[in-house]
Amino acid sequence: MDNLIDGKAVAAQTRDTVAKAVAALPITPTLAVVLVGDDPASQVYVRNKIKFTEETGMRSLEHRLPATATQEEVVAIVRALNADAEVDGILVQLPLPDHLDSNAVIAEIDPSKDVDGLTEVSAGRLVLGQPGLRPCTPTGSVILAKAALGDLTSKHCVVLGRSILVGKPAALMFLEQNCTVTIAHSRTENLPVVCRSADILVAAVGRPKMVKSEWVKAGACVIDIGINRVPSVKRPGQFRLVGDVDYRKARSVAGAITPVPGGVGPMTIACLLRNTVLAACDRREIDRPE
């Protein structure tokens, strides 16, 4: 059955486009990543972000702080990166250790360097429909839906999840694509019925395999944002990654579906690289690439 949306392949194409745009620029964009503590998943994400930044011809700066770092120390690094004219993008890897105030750290990021699209300015521009740096995971989700369906105009999109980081911006970005959008969450009644009304079902709940095949309308496009670590049955003591959708069964109903891993995840990094190029162009008053 050929209804898999290959996030790895689309991400590779996106990175290729980014690399070509970088090669054509008169400057080398720089992405700075701030990592606090030693969360294993964050270490992997940051390693991949650095690898792909360099592979696309950009410069990568890395700032690592111990898990004991204070709010003042993290803020001081962000402020120094704001002041560094060579730095085009700043990414603070989340989650931060519990004793740190993530919102206050994010609020310090210069909006022109906000390649994760998380500051109040970026969020405001998204709500107002103004150009800006859009959050990476929702951007990747839209690109994958378009890869499967083409124009998304008038499709009914149900976004399951309303978090600030994922669900809410995803809903706004599908609205920008002229979808009719429903946002569902933990207080939504008749969730299976609501989900089954979707032409595009975007799952961002963080609950392994919560979305069953019966929740999926025949032929719908399913974008699974969830990344959940569950114990591996085959390899005791180890973990494997699953999405928020019961992929194996849902695949027989969906018209198109993203796998986990290999779906939205690779797109998130590719969109981060894309945002770094856009930030570099805007800051340095160079025309954005096509």
CB neighbour list of residue 236: distance below 8 Å, 6 or more residues apart: none
DSSP 183: E
- Contact (Cβ atoms closer than 8 angstroms) between residue 133 and residue 279: yes
Binds ligand NDP by CB under 6 A, chosen from 53, 137, 177, 258: 137
Q: How many CB atoms lie within 10 A of CB 57?
A: 17
On whether 207 is known to bind a ligand per the annotation, the reply is no
CB of 162 to ligand NDP, least distance (A): 4
Give me the residues paired with residue 242 across strands: 228
Binds ligand NDP by CB under 6 A, chosen from 205, 253, 270, 280: 205
Binding mask 209-228 for ligand NDP (x = CB under 6 A): ----------------xxxx
Q: How wide is the angle at C-alpha 60 spanned by C-alphas 262 and 242, nearest 5°?
A: 20
In 3D, which of 1, 5, 2 has the Cα closest to residue 201?
A: 5
Question: Is there binding between residue 117 and ligand NDP (CB under 6 A)?
Answer: no
CB of 99 to ligand NDP, least distance (A): 19
Strands (E), 204-243: 221-224, 228-231, 239-242
Binds ligand NDP by CB under 6 A, chosen from 29, 111, 169, 265: 265
Question: Is there binding between residue 162 and ligand NDP (CB under 6 A)?
Answer: yes
Instruction: Tell me the catalytic residues.
Output: 49, 93, 116
Helix 136-149 and helix 167-176, axial crossing angle in degrees, nearest 10: 40
On whether 109 is known to bind a ligand per the annotation, the reply is no
On whether 187 is known to bind a ligand per the annotation, the reply is no
Q: Which is nearer to ligand NDP, 49 or 113 (CB)?
A: 49
- Residues comprising the binding site for NADP(+)? 161-163, 227
**Site residues (CB under 6 A) for ligand NDP?**
137, 160-163, 165-167, 185-187, 191, 204-207, 225-228, 264-265, 268
